[in-house]
Amino acid sequence: MSKIKLINLKTKKPLKTKKIEILDFSNDLFEVVRNSLGLTVLKQDFTFLDEKIKYLLLDENKTITLLDFKKENFGSILGRSLYLVDLLTNNLGKLKTYLSEDLPKDKILEIDFNPRIIVLGTNFTKYDHYAIKQINKEIDLVKCQVFPDYLVLEKEYQSQNYLENKFPKSEYLKEIIEHLLMLGDEIVIKEFPHYIAIRRITNFAYLYYEDTLVLRVLVDGKYQTKKIKNGKDLNDALKLLEDAYV
């Protein structure tokens, strides 16, 4: 698997990584990782059906998210989070009732209750990739390396894309999706009722309909919007996606 190597340009020596201490949820590193992954805390330090849960998170699309950690290079790819995902999905009614104690109904209606798991680790193998492909869950593998003054996150792999064929289809949409899949296999394309989200580690583009297909894409820190009505618009949109991907 790929290895990240950072070189100090002054000393011309590689920066040494530190042992990941993310498992200590009380430290500042967890907050940095959480923010970098675009996650917000929905609930923390609570008990649900006799199971203690440290953090229940939401991603940018308001999808329930759990963080997991591959503790060793040759350790298990998934820990307790796989059990918790089943616990939550098998008891959605109870979970919504529990959350309604703190959240208004309109906020609960915004939540996507199909949980996602993000696994952090210093290294993943082809066996890890194979393992998550066999599990019918939304799972992302993110390589995490901690340096003295830096944190490096690198999207490694994901279980699958999530297109449910409910979003209005067109030839332009088909070409955009095919182009995205050619850009890199770490890209996730996920369909929601009113839009399609496109992400690597975090979202960098959205597709939705107004009077026509619209692409909204993050390029150089700013969102640009492109309506796609003809072939020229399509080519411009594909170029924007390439610029955002680099």
How high is the pLDDT of residue 1? 42
Q: Tens digit of pLDDT for each residue in 216-232?
A: 999 988 999 999 999 99
* Distance separating the N- and C-terminal Cα atoms of the chain: 20
Q: What is the mean pLDDT of the chain?
A: 86
How high is the pLDDT of residue 49? 95
Architecture category of domain 28-158 in CATH: 3-Layer(aba) Sandwich (3.40)
Q: Tens digit of pLDDT for each residue in 79-92?
A: 788 899 999 999 99
Q: Which of 41-50, 73-82, 211-220 has the weakest average pLDDT?
A: 73-82
CA 120 – CA 66 distance, rounded (Å): 11
CA 196 – CA 181 distance, rounded (Å): 14
CA 42 – CA 55 distance, rounded (Å): 8
Record the tokens describing residue 70, joined without a space.
């591959």
Spell out a b/e string for 43-77, using b for 16 or more CB atoms within 10 Å of the CB, else e: beeeebeeeebebbbbbebbbbbbbbbbeeeeeeb
How high is the pLDDT of residue 4? 58
